[in-house]
Structure 1
Amino acid sequence: MAKVKYYYDAETLSYRKIKRKKRTTFKYIVVFLLAAALFGFLSFAISSNYIESPKERQLTRELQNMELQYQLLDKRMDDAIAALENVEERDNAIYRLYFESNPIPEEQRRAGFGGINRYKKFEGFDNSQMIAESNKRLDILEKAIVVQSKSLDEIAKLAEDKEKFLEAIPAIQPVSNESLTRMASGYGYRTDPFTKVRKFHFGMDFTAPRGTPIYATGDGVVKRADNGSSGFGNHIRIDHGYGYMSLYAHLYKYNVKVNQRVKRGDVIGFVGSTGRSEAPHLHYEVHKDGERINPINFYYGNLSAAEFNVLLRKASLENQSLD
């Protein structure tokens, strides 16, 4: 029951009951409803995160900073992937092509990760997809770097082998131009000096004075230094590896021994006329996998283009050989 309020009336010298006007009552009701509505709105706003607490504002800033950092990380990964792709392109199109090695397939370079979900731990968060995708790209990038690193190790090994191959392959003229009298006979059909019959000549004859130095045309190991082969007289055979062997015949004397390792340009013997020979000269052959091939293709190491053309022209003449 509402309390009854009175006021003192000085004219009548008595207490009179206070009567509340309807207008005043309505005003109180409106004020109460507005206050209730405002309280309800504030409560809803707080519960619905419309108004952030200081802690929530700090977490929001940290989240925004994290999103920015992931965007920057994605940009750096884009740059790293672009740089890696450039190396991969050169690896396949230049390095491996030069060393005659098969390119690495793209599916091997960009292979994903099968089996269990490696990114399950990132699920259930507001930015789960962004975080999982960044980690996935990073994993693939790391794997591609490992593949490329192993490829470069292989390229380095191929380069080392290539260097050894280039040092071993016969690549210079066995007698220097300054010492030559002439290039007497080339590879191909020639007239035999003794029988005068046309037959195949499997080497090149370089005429030079007796005692002229003879040079190893590539790195290798001396396999023979004797006169036990019919027609060659004193001769040397060098095994260069990779299926190559060079032969030097009709020597005056040796400057090496069997099983001795020699380098390209080492003096291995001296020009003579031993064996089946008409005059002092060097008979020179190059063998590949047991087959005798034209030595004219193996003088790129010490002849200019002009000198090689002169030698090629003389070697192509079908004349008489000296052995």
Structure 2
Amino acid sequence: MAKVKYYYDADTLSYRKITVKKSDYYKKSVFGILAVFLIAFIGFVVFSQFIMSPSERSQKRELDNLKLHYELLSKRMEESSAILAQLQDRDNNIYRTYFEANPIPEEQRKAGFGGVNRYKSLDGFDNSTMIKELTKDVDILTKQLVVQSKSLDEIVGLAKEKEKMLASIPAIQPVKNEDLTRMASGYGMRMHPILKYRKMHKGMDFTAPVGTPIFATANGKVVKAQRSSSYGNVVYIDHGYGYKTVYGHMSKIKTRKGKMVKRGDLIGYVGNTGLSAGAHLHYEVHKNGRAVNPISFYYGDLTPEEFAAMQKAAAEEGQSYD
């Protein structure tokens, strides 16, 4: 049973019963309900800031995972860039220097991407800046790798050419040390044994018994293998790269014009043909059409002591054998 309420009426000096209109009652009820809903809504909004739904938790885990992998990928990118930088440094300062190739300019290696905004499609996302920066770093690293790959391809080509060139430079004695009687005469002004006057001796004379094997001192092509009035039986070999060698006074030629020979191949035997005063090999080295001292071209055959002894013997003034 509802409790009856009264109020004191000062005009009548008596208590009167309080009566509530139905409209007022309904208003209070509606306001009460609205207040309850409002408080509940506010509570939900506040509460939702601290408590996530299962879907939100899942999305947050995925986002955290993506950020973690982004950090790991960024670190690997930095490490890869550091390794590439070391390779670029070796490429410019060691490989290309050794093969006498120009270094690749830094601006060519690390040039960016100009023109249109190539990353425009990545705009409009929560992490657009992060994605664009990583994509840009990947593009730059990829371009640097392409430049370095092409450079290494060039180095391989240069190495093959260098190997071919080194094999084509005279580097051994044409007659083995154990077969020599002596090194009769070196490069320079000498008394000619037949003509009896001093003239330029453009090669070196290796004294050895008739029939001693003579070897090509580098890879090349035989351009002459014939009889000469001055050099007797003589062989000329063109090695390319400006180098040619001459082998004179042979007793017998064991090669032919047009034949490709390799360093160490037998090309003839020591003799005493032509203008010669004794059995020996007259050997010349020409560089770019000019005779040079052959003593500089035995680095692949002699010990330091043997080379010093040869230098001393070659420097002595005396008579040549031709």
Shift of 1:258: 0.8
User: What does residue range 10-25 of structure 1 map to in structure 2 within 5 Å?
Assistant: none
The question of 1:153 aligning with 2:116 is answered no
5+ long unaligned stretches in structure 1: 9-15
Q: For the residues of structure 2 that align with 1:175 and 1:219, how far apart are their CA atoms?
A: 16
Which residue identity lines up with residue 127 of structure 2 in the other structure? N
Q: Kindly indicate whether the alpha-carbon contact (under 8 Å) linking 1:45 and 1:51 is maintained by their aligned counterparts in 2.
A: no
Q: For the residues of structure 1 that align with 2:224 and 2:218, how far apart are their CA atoms?
A: 16
User: What does residue range 294-313 of structure 1 map to in structure 2 within 5 Å?
Assistant: 294-313=293-312
Q: Kindly indicate whether the alpha-carbon contact (under 8 Å) linking 1:6 and 1:17 is maintained by their aligned counterparts in 2.
A: no
Which position in structure 1 is the counterpart of 2:9? none
1:275 partner SS: coil
Which position in structure 2 is the counterpart of 1:239? 238
Q: For the residues of structure 2 that align with 1:233 and 1:153, how far apart are their CA atoms?
A: 48
User: What does residue range 221-300 of structure 1 map to in structure 2 within 5 Å?
Assistant: 221-228=221-228, 230-300=229-299
Shift of 1:306: 0.9
1:248 partner SS: strand
Shift of 1:51: 5.1
Range with bigger deviation, 111-120 or 262-271: 111-120
Q: For the residues of structure 1 that align with 2:105 and 2:196, how far apart are their CA atoms?
A: 60
Q: For the residues of structure 2 that align with 1:54 and 1:295, how far apart are their CA atoms?
A: 88
Q: Kindly indicate whether the alpha-carbon contact (under 8 Å) linking 2:194 and 2:276 is maintained by their aligned counterparts in 1.
A: no
2:285 partner SS: strand
* Residues 267-303 of structure 1 deviation map (CA, whole Å, 9 limit, x = unaligned): 1001111111111111100111111111111101111
Q: Kindly indicate whether the alpha-carbon contact (under 8 Å) linking 1:187 and 1:315 is maintained by their aligned counterparts in 2.
A: yes
* Residues 24-72 of structure 1 deviation map (CA, whole Å, 9 limit, x = unaligned): x9xx9x98897466335246548x9665433223222212211111111
Which position in structure 1 is the counterpart of 2:215? 215
Range with bigger deviation, 278-287 or 105-114: 105-114
Which position in structure 2 is the counterpart of 1:183? 183
Q: For the residues of structure 2 that align with 1:240 and 1:40, how far apart are their CA atoms?
A: 96
Q: For the residues of structure 2 that align with 1:56 and 1:300, how far apart are their CA atoms?
A: 78
The number of equivalent residue pairs is 305
Which position in structure 1 is the counterpart of 2:12? none
Which position in structure 1 is the counterpart of 2:40? 39
Q: For the residues of structure 1 that align with 2:3 and 2:97, how far apart are their CA atoms?
A: 111
Q: For the residues of structure 2 that align with 1:269 and 1:100, how far apart are their CA atoms?
A: 37
Q: For the residues of structure 2 that align with 1:182 and 1:36, how far apart are their CA atoms?
A: 120
Q: For the residues of structure 2 that align with 1:185 and 1:17, how far apart are their CA atoms?
A: 152
Range with bigger deviation, 113-122 or 212-221: 113-122
1:283 partner SS: strand
Which position in structure 2 is the counterpart of 1:12? none
Shift of 1:75: 0.3
Q: For the residues of structure 1 that align with 2:46 and 2:289, how far apart are their CA atoms?
A: 93
Q: For the residues of structure 1 that align with 2:53 and 2:37, how far apart are their CA atoms?
A: 23
Q: For the residues of structure 2 that align with 1:49 and 1:105, how far apart are their CA atoms?
A: 56
Shift of 1:157: 1.2
Shift of 1:174: 0.3
Which residue identity lines up with residue 232 of structure 1 in the other structure? Y
Give me the TM-score of the superposition, normalised by structure 2: 0.87
Q: For the residues of structure 2 that align with 1:18 and 1:256, how far apart are their CA atoms?
A: 142
2:232 partner SS: coil
* Residues 93-119 of structure 1 deviation map (CA, whole Å, 9 limit, x = unaligned): 211111111111111111111211111
The question of 1:173 aligning with 2:173 is answered yes
Q: For the residues of structure 2 that align with 1:42 and 1:126, how far apart are their CA atoms?
A: 28
Q: Kindly indicate whether the alpha-carbon contact (under 8 Å) linking 2:278 and 2:321 is maintained by their aligned counterparts in 1.
A: yes
2:190 partner SS: strand
Q: For the residues of structure 2 that align with 1:6 and 1:145, how far apart are their CA atoms?
A: 91
Q: Kindly indicate whether the alpha-carbon contact (under 8 Å) linking 2:224 and 2:236 is maintained by their aligned counterparts in 1.
A: yes
Q: For the residues of structure 2 that align with 1:49 and 1:224, how far apart are their CA atoms?
A: 97
Q: For the residues of structure 1 that align with 2:119 and 2:96, how far apart are their CA atoms?
A: 35
Which residue identity lines up with residue 253 of structure 2 in the other structure? Y
Which position in structure 2 is the counterpart of 1:92? 92
1:227 partner SS: strand
User: What does residue range 108-187 of structure 1 map to in structure 2 within 5 Å?
Assistant: 108-187=108-187
Give me the TM-score of the superposition, normalised by structure 1: 0.86
Q: For the residues of structure 1 that align with 2:208 and 2:163, how far apart are their CA atoms?
A: 32
Range with bigger deviation, 123-132 or 186-195: 186-195
Percent sequence identity is: 55
